[in-house]
Structure 1
Amino acid sequence: MSYADLRAGGATRAGIREALATGTLHRARRDVYLAAGAGERAVAAQRVGGRLDCVSAIAASGIFVLDRTRLHVQVEPTRGRLRSPVSRRRRLAHDPDVVVHWRHAGHGDAHSIPLTEALRVAVRCQSPRASVAMLDNAFHQRRISAADVHDIFAGLPAKYAVLASLLDGRAEAGSESIARLLLRGLGCRVQVQVSIDGVGRVDLLVDGWIVVECDSRAHHGGWESQERDRLRDLLLAERGYAVICPTANMIFDEPEVLRRAVQGLRGGGALR
């Protein structure tokens, strides 16, 4: 909102000052005000001079993205005087943590571009595995349809089309998607969300006998939860399955650990 918008809505000068002082209103830059509920990243994007774009817009919508460290901002090509995301009093100099997407984007809301447009831009801004994991998660959450996927790739160069064939909306987390792609790169046969009698569903089943459970602290915290997981592991071992449980951070930051573990099991390991 602009200052004129606030006044037209009935706010007094004193009321605006009080709202700024109490934090219920933020001044992102000159004549740009946001309500407190807009979120820190949206405020930072407006302070730069635009809206959340690319992976920043996607992360703000609750969809998985692998790298959230940089702020991606859509800025109109005619815009000038960009500011630092942390201070409206400083110009935006070279900042490796800010990615400016200079382009027109007339649709969306005041803080972010439309989701399908953000997804299309993000495919070009990430690694192939990160892009597939992102789109898998959007599909899993039913935020996009098969028609949306078609539209996303129709607006991309032909070299990206191969990624569409790798999507699998059954993956329940980004770590599962990235692990799946990593293991298929080894030539493994990888099944997703497989139900095993007497045990339940497992994240990934590799070559019909290696179970990979992609653990995260959010879903496997607490001793009771750990005991249930260990019982599942024992039940799987009873049925002849080997079980490995890399954490999400291991999959993201040290994928070679998972790669070597599966290679060791497939090669017979210490039994050779």
Structure 2
Amino acid sequence: MEAMSPTRWGPPIDVLPYFSKEEQALMTLLGALTDEDWTRPTMCAGWTVKDVAAHLLGDKVGRLSRGRDGHAADAPRPGEAFPRFIDRINEEWVVACRRLSTDVLLTMLYEFMGQTTEYWAQLDLDAFGGPVSWAGDEPAPRWLDAARDYSEFWVHHVQIREALEHTPLEAEYAEPIADTFVRALPHTLRDVDARVGKQVGYTVTGQGRWYARRERDGWVLDRGAPPSRTPLATVTTDLDTFWRLCTRNTTSTDGVRTTGDENVCAQLLTMTAIIV
């Protein structure tokens, strides 16, 4: 991927090499499930393995319909908050897909395999598109939206594997996850008042280090350790804890290490990479 213009979200992420491989691993898994496997409950409250697979289908066809085909999707009802709107349409889709057999669901997933990759590959990822809501309200670079897409697929794939008590998804598929979710850091810090130049650090062990720096118009993200010897606050955790915290799959902070301003650390631990 060519160098892209710097933004407050830090350097670009290239997730295109991951889409097809993750999708193929998921379909290999789903294609071998028994009837009992499809009905197992997942960590998504009220959703079975089949429901999560149907949700993934909805993510894929929704992206293609809106982005590739220019289809005008539903909008929130008058007075309906955006997170509530997303929860509602997701649930409506999953409930409707319960009418489908697993064979029909698998056929539809196979039909759309590869099309998400093709969609993102033909776009100028340097350009700005719509917002990535958990990273801010303003237009975001398309590479961030693509990374958001991939992270969504990865999280639900992991949830399915855990519900099945299956072997974990190979580590290579998780390579962009921490780097994607940490792009929510500037938005998380938006209400933290600090003087220009102050820095906040975030480390995900084995994955990387990032820091946010306060500038006149807000916080800006970059990779690496904070250049300052005395950052305002730092958080260190492992990838498993990090992605679960960011997606609200856990509230436990066991294994999380913090230094510096306690209020800022507490704010850092509210970081989310889903619509809530």
TM-based fold match above 0.5: no
Larger radius of gyration: 1
Q: Which structure ranks higher in relative contact order (CA pairs < 8 Å, sequence separation ≥ 6)?
A: 2
Instruction: Calculate the TM-score normalised by the size of structure 2.
Output: 0.30
Q: Which structure's residues are more often strand, by fraction?
A: 1
